[in-house]
Amino acid sequence: MSSIRAYSQRLLPPFSGVVQIAQSNRARAQSFDGVSWEVHYVPRSTEAQRRQQMPLGYALDRGYYRVAHFQDNRLTPYVLPAVLDAAQVNECSEELAAFLSSATVPFPAADVFEYWLLDGRDESPLALLFSCCEAAQMSSYPTKSGWTALPHSKLRIASTAEEQARQEPPVNHRFQDMVTNRAGAAPRAAWFERAPGSAGEFPPLLVREDWQSDRERDLCQRYLLRTAPILLMLQGLPRDHRERLEVAAKRYAVEVDQHYPLYPEVNDEKRMAAIRVEARLRRGSPQTTEPRPTRQSGPTPLSKDMRILE
Protein backbone atom coordinates (compact mmCIF):
# COMPACT_ATOMS: atom_id res chain seq x y z
CA MET A 1 0.00 0.00 0.00
CA SER A 2 1.40 3.41 -0.95
CA SER A 3 1.60 6.20 1.58
CA ILE A 4 -1.32 8.62 1.75
CA ARG A 5 -0.89 12.29 2.51
CA ALA A 6 -3.87 13.83 4.32
CA TYR A 7 -4.14 17.61 4.55
CA SER A 8 -6.55 20.52 4.34
CA GLN A 9 -6.50 23.77 2.39
CA ARG A 10 -8.50 26.98 2.66
CA LEU A 11 -10.90 27.88 -0.13
CA LEU A 12 -10.02 31.30 -1.54
CA PRO A 13 -10.90 33.90 -2.74
CA PRO A 14 -12.78 34.94 -0.74
CA PHE A 15 -12.42 32.60 2.21
CA SER A 16 -15.44 30.31 2.15
CA GLY A 17 -14.32 27.16 3.96
CA VAL A 18 -11.74 24.40 3.77
CA VAL A 19 -11.28 21.35 1.58
CA GLN A 20 -10.02 18.03 2.97
CA ILE A 21 -7.68 16.02 0.75
CA ALA A 22 -6.35 12.47 1.07
CA GLN A 23 -3.83 11.86 -1.69
CA SER A 24 -1.88 8.83 -2.86
CA ASN A 25 0.52 8.55 -5.78
CA ARG A 26 -2.20 8.07 -8.36
CA ALA A 27 -5.45 9.22 -6.76
CA ARG A 28 -7.01 11.52 -4.22
CA ALA A 29 -10.24 11.95 -2.29
CA GLN A 30 -11.56 15.41 -1.54
CA SER A 31 -14.36 16.63 0.70
CA PHE A 32 -15.81 20.04 1.44
CA ASP A 33 -17.77 18.91 4.48
CA GLY A 34 -15.75 16.02 5.95
CA VAL A 35 -18.63 13.62 5.24
CA SER A 36 -19.03 13.21 1.47
CA TRP A 37 -15.88 12.39 -0.51
CA GLU A 38 -15.23 12.39 -4.25
CA VAL A 39 -12.44 10.15 -5.50
CA HIS A 40 -10.27 11.33 -8.39
CA TYR A 41 -7.74 9.31 -10.39
CA VAL A 42 -4.86 10.47 -12.59
CA PRO A 43 -3.44 8.28 -15.37
CA ARG A 44 0.31 7.79 -15.27
CA SER A 45 0.74 9.82 -18.49
CA THR A 46 -0.52 12.99 -16.76
CA GLU A 47 1.11 12.46 -13.38
CA ALA A 48 3.86 14.99 -14.07
CA GLN A 49 1.23 17.57 -14.94
CA ARG A 50 -0.62 16.84 -11.69
CA ARG A 51 2.42 17.78 -9.62
CA GLN A 52 2.46 21.31 -11.00
CA GLN A 53 -1.25 22.02 -11.21
CA MET A 54 -3.25 24.71 -9.46
CA PRO A 55 -4.51 23.81 -5.98
CA LEU A 56 -8.11 22.85 -5.41
CA GLY A 57 -8.95 26.13 -3.72
CA TYR A 58 -8.34 28.10 -6.91
CA ALA A 59 -9.48 26.07 -9.91
CA LEU A 60 -10.55 22.63 -11.07
CA ASP A 61 -7.43 20.52 -11.58
CA ARG A 62 -6.57 19.18 -14.99
CA GLY A 63 -5.60 15.57 -15.54
CA TYR A 64 -7.85 13.97 -12.91
CA TYR A 65 -10.89 11.82 -13.60
CA ARG A 66 -13.81 11.54 -11.16
CA VAL A 67 -14.06 7.82 -10.52
CA ALA A 68 -15.99 7.17 -7.29
CA HIS A 69 -17.88 8.57 -4.32
CA PHE A 70 -17.28 7.61 -0.68
CA GLN A 71 -19.66 8.27 2.22
CA ASP A 72 -20.77 6.38 5.32
CA ASN A 73 -18.03 3.78 4.70
CA ARG A 74 -19.53 2.96 1.30
CA LEU A 75 -17.52 3.29 -1.90
CA THR A 76 -19.67 3.85 -5.00
CA PRO A 77 -17.74 3.55 -8.29
CA TYR A 78 -18.69 5.67 -11.29
CA VAL A 79 -18.85 4.46 -14.89
CA LEU A 80 -15.27 4.78 -16.15
CA PRO A 81 -14.14 6.03 -19.58
CA ALA A 82 -12.46 3.44 -21.76
CA VAL A 83 -9.04 5.15 -21.46
CA LEU A 84 -8.75 4.12 -17.81
CA ASP A 85 -7.62 0.76 -16.47
CA ALA A 86 -10.54 -0.33 -14.28
CA ALA A 87 -8.40 -2.62 -12.13
CA GLN A 88 -5.91 0.13 -11.31
CA VAL A 89 -8.68 2.65 -10.63
CA ASN A 90 -10.47 0.26 -8.28
CA GLU A 91 -7.26 -0.54 -6.43
CA CYS A 92 -6.53 3.15 -5.84
CA SER A 93 -10.13 3.91 -4.86
CA GLU A 94 -10.28 1.05 -2.37
CA GLU A 95 -6.97 2.15 -0.84
CA LEU A 96 -8.33 5.64 -0.22
CA ALA A 97 -11.63 4.26 1.08
CA ALA A 98 -9.78 2.08 3.60
CA PHE A 99 -7.84 5.13 4.78
CA LEU A 100 -10.91 7.34 5.07
CA SER A 101 -12.90 4.75 6.98
CA SER A 102 -10.75 5.40 10.06
CA ALA A 103 -9.46 8.94 9.38
CA THR A 104 -10.26 11.93 11.60
CA VAL A 105 -11.03 15.32 10.08
CA PRO A 106 -10.10 18.07 9.80
CA PHE A 107 -6.70 17.13 8.45
CA PRO A 108 -3.72 19.39 9.29
CA ALA A 109 -3.56 22.59 7.24
CA ALA A 110 -0.90 22.47 4.54
CA ASP A 111 -1.40 25.75 2.66
CA VAL A 112 1.48 27.58 4.33
CA PHE A 113 2.24 29.78 1.31
CA GLU A 114 0.03 32.85 1.53
CA TYR A 115 -0.52 35.77 -0.82
CA TRP A 116 -1.52 38.88 1.15
CA LEU A 117 -2.83 42.25 0.07
CA LEU A 118 -0.68 44.84 1.84
CA ASP A 119 -1.71 47.91 3.81
CA GLY A 120 -1.07 51.02 1.72
CA ARG A 121 0.45 52.86 4.68
CA ASP A 122 3.01 50.43 6.11
CA GLU A 123 2.86 47.40 3.76
CA SER A 124 1.81 45.07 6.57
CA PRO A 125 -0.54 42.16 5.74
CA LEU A 126 -4.05 43.55 5.25
CA ALA A 127 -6.20 40.74 3.78
CA LEU A 128 -5.48 37.21 2.56
CA LEU A 129 -6.01 36.70 -1.19
CA PHE A 130 -4.69 33.20 -1.97
CA SER A 131 -2.94 30.27 -0.31
CA CYS A 132 -1.27 27.13 -1.63
CA CYS A 133 0.58 24.08 -0.36
CA GLU A 134 3.74 24.11 -2.49
CA ALA A 135 6.11 26.90 -3.50
CA ALA A 136 6.01 25.69 -7.12
CA GLN A 137 2.30 26.52 -7.29
CA MET A 138 2.71 30.23 -6.53
CA SER A 139 3.51 31.17 -10.12
CA SER A 140 0.18 29.64 -11.23
CA TYR A 141 -1.80 32.40 -9.52
CA PRO A 142 -2.64 35.77 -11.08
CA THR A 143 -1.00 38.84 -9.61
CA LYS A 144 -4.33 39.84 -8.09
CA SER A 145 -4.18 42.84 -5.78
CA GLY A 146 -7.81 43.26 -4.77
CA TRP A 147 -9.68 41.61 -1.91
CA THR A 148 -13.28 40.49 -2.31
CA ALA A 149 -15.86 39.87 0.40
CA LEU A 150 -18.40 37.09 0.22
CA PRO A 151 -21.24 38.58 -1.88
CA HIS A 152 -24.55 39.59 -0.33
CA SER A 153 -26.31 36.98 -2.47
CA LYS A 154 -24.44 34.22 -0.60
CA LEU A 155 -24.01 35.87 2.80
CA ARG A 156 -26.86 38.18 3.76
CA ILE A 157 -26.05 40.72 6.46
CA ALA A 158 -28.97 42.77 7.70
CA SER A 159 -28.84 46.54 7.20
CA THR A 160 -30.05 48.87 9.94
CA ALA A 161 -33.21 50.92 9.48
CA GLU A 162 -31.06 54.03 8.97
CA GLU A 163 -28.97 52.30 6.31
CA GLN A 164 -32.10 51.16 4.52
CA ALA A 165 -33.50 54.68 4.62
CA ARG A 166 -30.29 55.98 3.04
CA GLN A 167 -30.38 53.11 0.53
CA GLU A 168 -26.79 52.18 1.34
CA PRO A 169 -25.15 49.20 -0.38
CA PRO A 170 -24.91 45.88 1.53
CA VAL A 171 -22.42 45.59 4.38
CA ASN A 172 -20.35 43.13 2.32
CA HIS A 173 -19.87 45.67 -0.47
CA ARG A 174 -19.05 48.56 1.88
CA PHE A 175 -16.51 46.48 3.83
CA GLN A 176 -14.86 45.40 0.59
CA ASP A 177 -14.56 49.05 -0.41
CA MET A 178 -12.97 49.83 2.96
CA VAL A 179 -10.27 47.22 2.39
CA THR A 180 -9.71 48.45 -1.17
CA ASN A 181 -9.28 52.04 0.01
CA ARG A 182 -6.89 51.01 2.76
CA ALA A 183 -4.69 49.21 0.23
CA GLY A 184 -4.14 52.52 -1.53
CA ALA A 185 -4.20 53.81 -5.09
CA ALA A 186 -1.39 51.46 -6.16
CA PRO A 187 -2.14 48.29 -4.18
CA ARG A 188 0.62 45.75 -3.59
CA ALA A 189 0.55 42.12 -2.58
CA ALA A 190 3.24 39.65 -1.54
CA TRP A 191 3.77 35.95 -0.90
CA PHE A 192 4.72 34.78 2.58
CA GLU A 193 5.63 31.39 3.97
CA ARG A 194 4.31 30.71 7.46
CA ALA A 195 4.25 27.87 9.92
CA PRO A 196 0.68 26.71 10.63
CA GLY A 197 -0.74 28.72 13.52
CA SER A 198 2.04 31.32 13.58
CA ALA A 199 0.82 34.79 14.48
CA GLY A 200 3.16 37.71 13.95
CA GLU A 201 1.57 40.56 12.02
CA PHE A 202 -1.02 38.41 10.29
CA PRO A 203 -4.72 39.02 11.04
CA PRO A 204 -6.12 35.83 12.67
CA LEU A 205 -9.46 36.24 10.83
CA LEU A 206 -7.67 36.84 7.50
CA VAL A 207 -8.44 40.57 7.31
CA ARG A 208 -7.38 43.49 9.52
CA GLU A 209 -9.73 44.60 12.30
CA ASP A 210 -7.93 47.77 13.51
CA TRP A 211 -10.00 50.43 11.76
CA GLN A 212 -9.96 54.09 12.70
CA SER A 213 -13.60 55.20 12.83
CA ASP A 214 -16.52 53.69 14.74
CA ARG A 215 -18.37 53.21 11.46
CA GLU A 216 -15.49 51.25 9.95
CA ARG A 217 -15.07 49.10 13.02
CA ASP A 218 -18.79 48.40 13.06
CA LEU A 219 -18.86 47.30 9.41
CA CYS A 220 -15.80 45.11 9.91
CA GLN A 221 -17.28 43.34 12.94
CA ARG A 222 -20.69 42.89 11.34
CA TYR A 223 -19.07 41.17 8.37
CA LEU A 224 -16.68 38.99 10.39
CA LEU A 225 -19.20 37.92 13.01
CA ARG A 226 -21.71 37.01 10.30
CA THR A 227 -19.09 34.71 8.81
CA ALA A 228 -18.42 33.11 12.22
CA PRO A 229 -19.69 29.62 11.23
CA ILE A 230 -17.16 29.60 8.39
CA LEU A 231 -14.28 31.25 10.25
CA LEU A 232 -14.52 28.61 12.99
CA MET A 233 -13.02 26.19 10.46
CA LEU A 234 -9.72 28.07 10.62
CA GLN A 235 -6.89 26.24 12.35
CA GLY A 236 -4.61 27.91 14.88
CA LEU A 237 -7.09 30.60 16.00
CA PRO A 238 -6.24 32.26 19.33
CA ARG A 239 -8.66 31.17 22.04
CA ASP A 240 -10.20 34.64 22.50
CA HIS A 241 -10.96 34.93 18.78
CA ARG A 242 -12.54 31.47 18.73
CA GLU A 243 -14.63 32.42 21.77
CA ARG A 244 -16.20 35.48 20.19
CA LEU A 245 -16.84 33.56 17.00
CA GLU A 246 -18.58 30.75 18.88
CA VAL A 247 -20.77 33.28 20.69
CA ALA A 248 -21.65 35.03 17.41
CA ALA A 249 -22.31 31.71 15.66
CA LYS A 250 -25.19 30.87 18.01
CA ARG A 251 -27.47 32.93 15.73
CA TYR A 252 -26.68 30.68 12.77
CA ALA A 253 -27.24 27.22 14.23
CA VAL A 254 -27.96 25.43 10.95
CA GLU A 255 -24.73 26.73 9.39
CA VAL A 256 -22.75 25.72 12.47
CA ASP A 257 -24.14 22.19 12.36
CA GLN A 258 -23.25 21.98 8.67
CA HIS A 259 -19.61 23.00 9.21
CA TYR A 260 -19.07 21.40 12.62
CA PRO A 261 -17.19 18.28 11.36
CA LEU A 262 -14.41 20.58 10.14
CA TYR A 263 -14.02 22.64 13.33
CA PRO A 264 -10.50 21.86 14.63
CA GLU A 265 -11.31 22.99 18.18
CA VAL A 266 -14.27 24.03 20.33
CA ASN A 267 -13.98 26.31 23.34
CA ASP A 268 -17.29 25.41 24.96
CA GLU A 269 -18.55 21.92 24.17
CA LYS A 270 -21.87 22.42 25.98
CA ARG A 271 -22.59 25.59 24.02
CA MET A 272 -21.71 23.88 20.75
CA ALA A 273 -23.92 20.89 21.57
CA ALA A 274 -26.83 23.24 22.30
CA ILE A 275 -26.30 25.04 18.99
CA ARG A 276 -26.36 21.76 17.08
CA VAL A 277 -29.49 20.54 18.86
CA GLU A 278 -31.15 23.86 17.95
CA ALA A 279 -30.14 23.32 14.31
CA ARG A 280 -31.72 19.89 14.20
CA LEU A 281 -34.88 21.13 15.84
CA ARG A 282 -35.14 23.83 13.19
CA ARG A 283 -34.81 21.17 10.51
CA GLY A 284 -37.41 19.05 12.24
CA SER A 285 -35.12 16.07 12.79
CA PRO A 286 -33.77 16.14 16.35
CA GLN A 287 -30.87 13.80 17.02
CA THR A 288 -28.48 13.24 19.85
CA THR A 289 -25.18 15.08 19.60
CA GLU A 290 -22.29 12.65 19.39
CA PRO A 291 -19.18 13.16 21.58
CA ARG A 292 -16.46 15.07 19.80
CA PRO A 293 -13.48 12.91 18.70
CA THR A 294 -9.99 13.82 19.85
CA ARG A 295 -8.20 15.85 17.22
CA GLN A 296 -4.89 14.66 15.88
CA SER A 297 -1.90 16.94 16.17
CA GLY A 298 -0.86 18.92 13.12
CA PRO A 299 2.38 18.77 11.14
CA THR A 300 5.73 19.85 12.52
CA PRO A 301 6.08 23.65 12.12
CA LEU A 302 8.53 25.10 9.63
CA SER A 303 11.92 26.23 10.89
CA LYS A 304 10.83 29.85 10.44
CA ASP A 305 7.41 31.12 11.47
CA MET A 306 7.24 33.53 8.58
CA ARG A 307 9.33 34.26 5.52
CA ILE A 308 8.46 36.68 2.74
CA LEU A 309 9.05 35.23 -0.71
CA GLU A 310 10.36 37.57 -3.37
Q: What is the pLDDT of residues 4-53, one digit of tens each?
A: 999 999 999 999 999 999 999 999 999 999 999 999 998 875 444 444 44
Per residue in 233-248, pLDDT (tens digit) is 999 999 999 999 999 9
| Cβ count within 10 A of residue 7 | 18
Chain centroid offset of residue 208 CA: 18
Q: Three-state SS for 265? A: coil
Per residue in 200-216, pLDDT (tens digit) is 789 999 999 999 999 99
| Cβ count within 10 A of residue 43 | 16
pLDDT band at 287 (very low <50, low <70, confident <90, very high): low
The partner residues of 68 in beta bridges, in order of sequence, read 39, 77
- Taking the CA atoms of the chain, what radius of gyration do you get in angstroms? 21
> Residue 280 pLDDT > 90, yes or no?
yes
Residues 203 and 160 in one domain: yes
Of 117, 131, 124, nearest in space to 179 by CA: 117
Residues 83 and 148 in one domain: no
Per residue in 40-80, pLDDT (tens digit) is 998 875 444 444 443 443 333 557 899 999 999 999 999 99
Please give the tally of structural domains in the chain: 3
- 45, 73, 100 - which closes a domain: 100
Residues 94 and 13 in one domain: yes
- To 5 degrees, how large is the angle CA 302–CA 244–CA 129? 45
Q: In this structure, is residue 105 part of a structural domain? A: no
CB-based contacts of 294: which residues, under 8 Å, 6+ apart? 104
Q: In this structure, is residue 57 part of a structural domain? A: yes
- 138, 173, 208 - which closes a domain: 208
Residues 119 and 203 in one domain: yes
Residues 180 and 263 in one domain: no
Q: State which residues form the domain around 246.
A: 227-290
DSSP 207-252: B----SSHHHHHHHHHHHHHTHHHHTT-SS--HHHHHHHHHHHGGG
